[in-house]
Chain A
Amino acid sequence: MGVTPTLSHCCVGSGAQRLSGFSLIECLVVNALALVLLSLLLVASADMISAAQKAADRSEQAIRARQVFDFLDSLLKTAQLPDTWTADAIASEGAAVQRNLIHPCKEFDTVLPQPRWGGYAIVELAKLSCIPGADTGVGLYVERVLPCPEECGEGAGYQIVSTQCQLRHGQATEEFQWQVSWEKNMERPHRCPEGAAWGRVERLLISHRSAEDSIEGVAVLRLQQIAQGLDATYRWSQAETIVLGIDAWQLSDLNQFSNLAGKETRLPFVRSDVLRVKVIIGPPRTEIALPSLAIDRLFISDRLPARG
Chain B
Amino acid sequence: MWVDYGIAASMGFAGLLGLMQLTGELAALSMSAYQLTMAGFLLDELAAVSSWEGVSLTSAAQLCGPSDWSIEALHCGMIEAWLEVLPQGSLSAAADGLVSLTWQQMDGGLMTITRSDASD
Give the contact stretch, choosing among B45-53, B64-72, B94-102, B109-117. Answer: B45-53
B24-37 interface code vs A (CB 8 A; 1 in, 0 out): 10111011011001
Query: Which secondary structure characterizes the binding site on chain B?
Result: helix
A49: interface (CB < 8 Å): yes
Chain B residues whose C-beta falls within 8 Å of the C-beta of A34 in the assembled complex: 9
- Nearest Cβ on chain A to B22's Cβ, whole angstroms: 9
- B45-A298 in contact (CB<8A): yes
A55 partner, pick from B12, B30, B77, beta carbons under 8 A: B30
- A298-B38 in contact (CB<8A): no
Residue in A closest to B32 when the chains form the complex, CB atoms = A59
Chain B residues whose C-beta falls within 8 Å of the C-beta of A55 in the assembled complex: 26-28, 30-31, 34
A298 partner, pick from B1, B17, B48, beta carbons under 8 A: B48
Looking at chain B, what size class is its interface with the partner chain?
A: 20 to 34
- Nearest Cβ on chain B to A23's Cβ, whole angstroms: 13
- A297-B44 in contact (CB<8A): yes
| CA gap between A2 and B77 in the complex, in Å | 101
Query: Which secondary structure characterizes the binding site on chain A?
Result: helix
A288: interface (CB < 8 Å): no
A62: interface (CB < 8 Å): yes
- B23-A58 in contact (CB<8A): no
B33 partner, pick from A21, A62, A274, beta carbons under 8 A: A62
B6-23 interface code vs A (CB 8 A; 1 in, 0 out): 000100110011011001
- B20-A44 in contact (CB<8A): yes
Contacts A296-B77, A298-B49, A308-B55; A45 near B20 (Cβ below 8 A): yes
| CA gap between A308 and B56 in the complex, in Å | 11
A45-68 interface code vs B (CB 8 A; 1 in, 0 out): 100110110011011001101100
Give the contact stretch, choosing among A5-13, A99-107, A261-269, A299-307. Answer: A299-307
B37 partner, pick from A41, A44, A49, A59, beta carbons under 8 A: A59
- A306-B33 in contact (CB<8A): no
- B23-A49 in contact (CB<8A): yes
- B48-A297 in contact (CB<8A): yes
- A52-B26 in contact (CB<8A): yes
| CA gap between A56 and B32 in the complex, in Å | 10
Chain A residues whose C-beta falls within 8 Å of the C-beta of B54 in the assembled complex: 306-308
Contacts A41-B13, A274-B52; A48 near B20 (Cβ below 8 A): yes
Chain A residues whose C-beta falls within 8 Å of the C-beta of B12 in the assembled complex: 38
- Nearest Cβ on chain B to A175's Cβ, whole angstroms: 30
Chain A residues whose C-beta falls within 8 Å of the C-beta of B28 in the assembled complex: 55
- B37-A65 in contact (CB<8A): yes
A69: interface (CB < 8 Å): yes
A152: interface (CB < 8 Å): no
- A300-B48 in contact (CB<8A): yes
Contacts A297-B45, A300-B48, A308-B53; A66 near B27 (Cβ below 8 A): no
Chain A residues whose C-beta falls within 8 Å of the C-beta of B13 in the assembled complex: 37, 41
A295: interface (CB < 8 Å): yes
| CA gap between A149 and B23 in the complex, in Å | 50
- A306-B78 in contact (CB<8A): no
- A51-B45 in contact (CB<8A): no
- A59-B33 in contact (CB<8A): yes
| CA gap between A238 and B32 in the complex, in Å | 38
A28-48 interface code vs B (CB 8 A; 1 in, 0 out): 001000100110011011001
A residues at B contact (CB < 8 Å): 21-22, 30, 34, 37-38, 41-42, 44-45, 48-49, 51-52, 55-56, 58-59, 62-63, 65-66, 69, 73, 274, 295-300, 304, 306-308
